[in-house]
Amino acid sequence: MDLKLDGKRALVTGASSGIGREIAQALAREGATVVVCGRNRERTEETVTMITEAGGKALAAVGDLTSDDDADAIAKTATDALGGIDILVNNAGGGSESGDSALKWHEFTPEKFHRSYDLNLVAAARMVNRLAPAMCERGWGRVINISSSVGKTAMASLHHYGAAKMALENYTLNLSMDLAKQGVTVNVVVPGLILTDVAQGFIHYLRDSRGWPDDPAEIQRRYTVEVFPQPVPRFGRPQEIAAAVTFLASPLSDYTTGATLRVDGGMTRCL
All domains of the chain, ordered by start, with CATH? 9-194+238-263 (3.40.50.720), 195-235 (no CATH)
pLDDT per residue over 152-198, tens digit each? Answer: 777 656 677 778 899 999 999 999 999 999 999 999 999 999 999 88
Kindly tell me if the per-residue pLDDT of 242 is higher than 60.
yes
**What integer pLDDT is reported at residue 95 of this predicted model?**
66
**What integer pLDDT is reported at residue 98 of this predicted model?**
45
CB atoms within 10 A of CB 9: 21
The pLDDT of 48-76, averaged and rounded, is: 98
**What integer pLDDT is reported at residue 157 of this predicted model?**
62
Kindly tell me if the per-residue pLDDT of 96 is higher than 60.
no
**What integer pLDDT is reported at residue 22 of this predicted model?**
98
**What integer pLDDT is reported at residue 101 of this predicted model?**
59
Kindly tell me if the per-residue pLDDT of 225 is higher than 80.
yes
**What integer pLDDT is reported at residue 28 of this predicted model?**
98
Kindly tell me if the per-residue pLDDT of 65 is higher than 90.
yes
Residue 138: pLDDT band by 50, 70, 90 thresholds? very high
**What integer pLDDT is reported at residue 55 of this predicted model?**
98
Kindly tell me if the per-residue pLDDT of 151 is higher than 80.
no
Which residues are marked as active site? 161
**What integer pLDDT is reported at residue 21 of this predicted model?**
98
Q: Using a pLDDT cut of 90, give the percent of the chain over it.
A: 76
